[in-house]
Amino acid sequence: MPRLSARLQALLDMLEPGCELADIACDHAHLSIEAVGRGLAPRAVACDLNEAPLRAARAELRAAGLEGRIELRRGDAFAPLHESPTAAKVAVIAGIGGRLMARMIEAPAPVGPPARVERLLLQPNRDGEFVRRALVARGWHLREECLVPCGGRRYLVLDALRGDDSTHRDWGPMDWRWGPRLIARRDPELLAALLDERARLDAAIDAAERGGASVQKLAALHAERESVVALHREMSSAP
């Protein structure tokens, strides 16, 4: 059985035992193999757009003796779940960019999430704001979010349920960008991420000044830096 990265382990830890799983953009289907192999999920449907990863997944399923309990399907986003309905109420999408993930969530019926899916566990590699916006636009409630340290990076994980999220009406630009739940609970990983972002912006400002960047470009970088510093200060201050 493959050992999971901390990123995929975090998703596995969020699954409720007994849930049937849809693993979208599954690649080698490691998450499905672990979920079913450890008895967390009785069955899984693992889907990918491309034949090559599914071929590799098929070999891994065979090696793990799980061919009868993990079904592999080829297709775009959730399309394989529409072609032939499954019992999966939880869908995971992990390891892809946030813009592609947002398109999958916002896509209409033959490609977007089927009505049966009640929970989405999402791990975008970047551009989490696009995913938050797609969830809210399509009537999903952002239940929780966390940042998972893994291999020198921090990966965002979003847990969403069907249902309107009225709290988004109070979200400002920094909530959409950095995460309303992470900000509200003064998440230590987010505090660390903000310090990293400040350092990145300091280096960008330095390079822009040395490279003779325009006044507008420099002003935009300084404004971005100030908003990051202000959020860090606000999150660090006494309640």
Ligand X SMILES: C[S@@+](CC[C@H](N)C(=O)[O-])C[C@H]1O[C@@H](n2cnc3c(N)ncnc32)[C@H](O)[C@@H]1O
Residues 56-115 that bind ligand X (CB under 6 A): 76-77, 94-96
Options 25-33, 137-145, 188-196, 214-222: segment touching ligand X (CB under 6 A): 25-33
Task: Using CB positions, name the residue nearest to ligand X.
Answer: 95
Please give the DSSP secondary-structure letter assigned to residue 67.
T
Options 20-28, 138-146, 154-162, 228-236: segment touching ligand X (CB under 6 A): 20-28
Nearer to ligand X (CB atom), residue 20 or residue 76: 76
Residue 100 C-beta: closest distance to ligand X, Å = 6
List the structure tokens of 168.
Answer: 């988004």
Nearer to ligand X (CB atom), residue 96 or residue 142: 96
Please give the DSSP secondary-structure letter assigned to residue 50.
-
Nearer to ligand X (CB atom), residue 32 or residue 165: 32
Residue 72 C-beta: closest distance to ligand X, Å = 12
CA atoms within 13 A on the CB side of 54: 16
174 contacts: CB under 8 Å, gap ≥ 6: 183, 227, 231
DSSP string covering 121-184, please? EEEESS-HHHHHHHHHHTTEEEEEEEEEEETTEEEEEEEEEES--GGGGG--HHHHHH-HHHHH
What is the C-alpha to C-alpha distance for residues 236 and 239, in angstroms, rounded to an integer?
A: 9
Count the residues of the shown chain that bind ligand X, applying the rule CB under 6 A.
12
Residues 159-218 that bind ligand X (CB under 6 A): none
Please give the DSSP secondary-structure letter assigned to residue 32.
H
Q: Does position 53 bind ligand X by CB under 6 A? A: yes
Nearer to ligand X (CB atom), residue 25 or residue 35: 25
What is the C-alpha to C-alpha distance for residues 204 and 183, in angstroms, rounded to an integer?
A: 25
Q: Does position 128 bind ligand X by CB under 6 A? A: no
Residue 111 C-beta: closest distance to ligand X, Å = 8
Residue 57 C-beta: closest distance to ligand X, Å = 9
Residue 141 C-beta: closest distance to ligand X, Å = 23
47 contacts: CB under 8 Å, gap ≥ 6: 22, 23, 24, 25, 26, 72, 73, 74, 75, 78, 80, 81
Options 46-54, 65-73, 189-197, 212-220: segment touching ligand X (CB under 6 A): 46-54
CB 105 within 8 A of CB 138: yes
Q: Contact residues for ligand X (CB under 6 A)?
A: 25-27, 48-50, 53, 76-77, 94-96
